[in-house]
Amino acid sequence: MAQKVAVLGTGKIGEALLSGMIRGGWAPADLLVTARRPERAAQLRERYGVDAVTNAEAAAAADTLILTVKPQDMGTLLTELAPHVPADRLVISGAAGVPTAFFEERLAAGTPVVRVMTNTPALVDEAMSVISAGTHATGDHLRRAEEIFAGVGKTLRVPESQQDAATALSGSGPAYFYFLVEAMTDAGILLGLPRDKAHDLIVQAAIGAAVMLRDSGEHPVKLRENVTSPAGTTINAIRELENHGVRAALLAALEAARDRSRELASGNG
Ligand SMILES: NC(=O)C1=CN([C@@H]2O[C@H](COP(=O)(O)OP(=O)(O)OC[C@H]3O[C@@H](n4cnc5c(N)ncnc54)[C@H](OP(=O)(O)O)[C@@H]3O)[C@@H](O)[C@H]2O)C=CC1
Ligand SMILES: O=C(O)[C@@H]1CCC=N1
């Protein structure tokens, strides 16, 4: 059988992955998609030149099935899919929270399942995709998942017990940075800057800081200290951040995201 990959439930994350795979050189003829609504299927066909098929047809034709529906829709999808998935298919779940055991219980005995938590920077090939093996997934299955997700950014293997924490950090992570940029742009408005200039200043500060975090080899504390002059501007801002409990708020926020990922484990959230 051809080494085809099917993305089942091609919404935001499914499309981000699909577009990245095509940018990375996958032939559209080796890719299949499924969608719940005919107009969405037509849109994907038109945008990417891929075949949009039913979930059962995808299971029959592709050797790797990537399931990217919402956690709450996973049970329904698996009920529909289970009779059509031969046990030699690699099933990759992109859903938050749902453990590999959930899939193994519903699919043919021995089906290899890999759980992946990626994030939306897949759209610009800067994703972090965190990968864990289920009971029947071998090194080859993990490498296959890495080969697919490496096309849209970095990959990292973790034990499945760390997936809920990884979801809180990197799956949801981009949203925290967008939230901070939005709030700091508002601060620029408060200080009298036009919105477009405030936006550009904060976005470039974020990009510069991100590249230094990635490339300088320095600890974030050292990088922050380098910005923080004695009796200067930055330390006055830092004092306010500490006074308002921003560090504690982040600890609580990521803990809440981790807890929600755990709650989604039942697949009916
Ligand atoms: N958004 C993010 O940043 C991230 C999301 N994830 C995970 O990715 C998954 C998808 O999230 P996201 O892309 O945001 O959600 P979307 O709602 O954009 O995508 C899910 C898609 O699945 C379709 N769908 C649902 N049921 C079926 C079915 N039975 N057959 C075919 N298609 C179906 C939906 O159709 P319809 O359009 O009709 O609703 C929708 O297009 C979730 O499990 C989430 O936890 C992981 C990492 C990051
Ligand atoms: O908010 C969510 O549940 C999904 C999973 C990680 C990012 N978005």
- pLDDT tens-digit readout, 72-87: 999 999 999 999 999 9
Give me the chain's average pLDDT, please: 96
Going from the Cα of 115 to the center of ligand 2, the distance in angstroms, rounded, reads: 14
Give residue 211's identity as a one-letter amino acid code. Answer: V
- Whether residue 1 has pLDDT greater than 50: no
Of 180, 178, 172, 176, the residue nearest 264 (C-alpha) = 172
DSSP 218-267: --HHHHHHHH--TTSHHHHHHHHHHHTTHHHHHHHHHHHHHHHHHHGGGS
Q: Which ligand is nearest to the CA of 94?
A: 1
Confidence at residue 50, expressed as pLDDT on a 0 to 100 scale: 98
Mean pLDDT of 243-262: 98
* β-pairing verdict for 90-93 and 51-52: unpaired
CA–CA separation, 206 vs 177, rounded Å? Answer: 9
- pLDDT tens-digit readout, 165-209: 999 999 999 999 999 999 999 999 999 999 999 999 999 999 999
List all residues whose CB is within 6 A of at least one atom of ligand 1: 8-9, 11-14, 34-37, 40, 55, 68-71, 73, 76-77, 94-96, 117-120, 171
Domains annotated on the chain, with CATH: 5-158 (3.40.50.720), 173-263 (1.10.3730.10)
- pLDDT tens-digit readout, 44-76: 999 999 999 999 999 999 999 999 999 999 999
CA–CA separation, 202 vs 222, rounded Å? Answer: 21
CA–CA separation, 144 vs 205, rounded Å? Answer: 37
Going from the Cα of 10 to the center of ligand 1, the distance in angstroms, rounded, reads: 6
Atom of ligand 2 nearest to the CA of 119: 7
